[in-house]
Amino acid sequence: MKYDQRHGGPYDRGGADSYYRRPFRPHYFVGATYQSTEHVAEKGTPEYEAYKAGFDENEASGHFKDWG
């Protein structure tokens, strides 16, 4: 499935949370990240599925922030 990959969207936030090794917390922003309203993505919604896809795809890639 193709997901909207805009910055701040659920797919983007899922990938970013995984990349920075943050916990799974389905959320997204209606506009720019941290500059607009944040929403919780409820289980079973398209936004939740997009967040999960972004998170899972990054987990599978093994591409994470090197804090060292």
Report how far residue 66's alpha carbon sits from residue 46's, in angstroms, rounded to the nearest whole number: 31
Q: Per residue of the chain (68 residues), give pLDDT as tens.
A: 889 899 999 999 999 999 999 999 999 999 999 999 999 999 999 999 999 999 999 999 999 999 99
What pLDDT was estimated at residue 65?
97
What pLDDT was estimated at residue 2?
86
What pLDDT was estimated at residue 63?
96
What pLDDT was estimated at residue 1?
80
Prediction pTM value: 0.94
CA atoms within 13 A on the CB side of 67: 4
Cα-based distances in Å from 1 to 8, 17, 32, 50 = 19, 20, 24, 9
